[in-house]
Amino acid sequence: MSITTTTHLNFRGTARQALEFYRSVFGGELSSATYGDFGMPEGAPGADKIVFGRVESPSGFRIMAYDIPGADGTDVADGGDVVATAGTTRRENGATITDRAFFQSVRGGTLEEVAAVWDGLADGADVIEPLAASAWSPGFGMLTDRFGVTWVIDVEAPSNA
């Protein structure tokens, strides 16, 4: 048996834009279907919104997303309230303080590899912790992207074997 996990993000009307943004950062293929594609009458409010979307890249990056029905216009990318959409995250006295249920983590083998991801995600983001060497990694950083998703980006630390 083979089991994989994929983060499924919930957006307030901007799933299509978020998926396109993540494809621009990570590469890969984007597939999506709207509520209309699954039978919602054409012209009904929200028929053009994403009910199923996915970005998958050859490097192993995979993420899914959809638009929460009836929740248009409050997403961060539309100028909505970031706290209502994503909660808050900040660094204080060396600790991460948050009311988020989870962070999306991306780990690479080299600083060069994760720096490219960082640079892409940082466009329009709120940087919580700049990408830099840390006590546990040759490169660690944390940001909340323009869609309200908080990302932890780091370089896998060398093993001590």
Residue 4 has pLDDT above 90, yes or no: no
Confidence of residue 53 (pLDDT cuts 50, 70, 90): very high
What average pLDDT score do residues 101-108 get? 90
- Say what the pLDDT of residue 38 is: 92
**Cα separation, 97 vs 93, whole angstroms:** 10
What average pLDDT score do residues 16-45 get? 95
What's the angle, vertex CA 78, arms to CA 72 and CA 81, rounded to 5? 85
**Cα separation, 120 vs 104, whole angstroms:** 15
Residue 36 has pLDDT above 70, yes or no: yes
What average pLDDT score do residues 116-128 get? 96
Instruction: Label the pairing between strands 50-56 and 29-34.
Output: antiparallel
- Say what the pLDDT of residue 79 is: 47
Mean of all residue pLDDT scores within the chain: 88
Question: Could you tell me the domains of the chain?
Answer: 1-79 (3.10.180.10), 81-161 (3.30.720.110)
- Say what the pLDDT of residue 86 is: 65
- Say what the pLDDT of residue 75 is: 45
- Say what the pLDDT of residue 71 is: 73
- Say what the pLDDT of residue 89 is: 81
What's the angle, vertex CA 144, arms to CA 141 and CA 146, rounded to 5? 135
- Say what the pLDDT of residue 30 is: 98
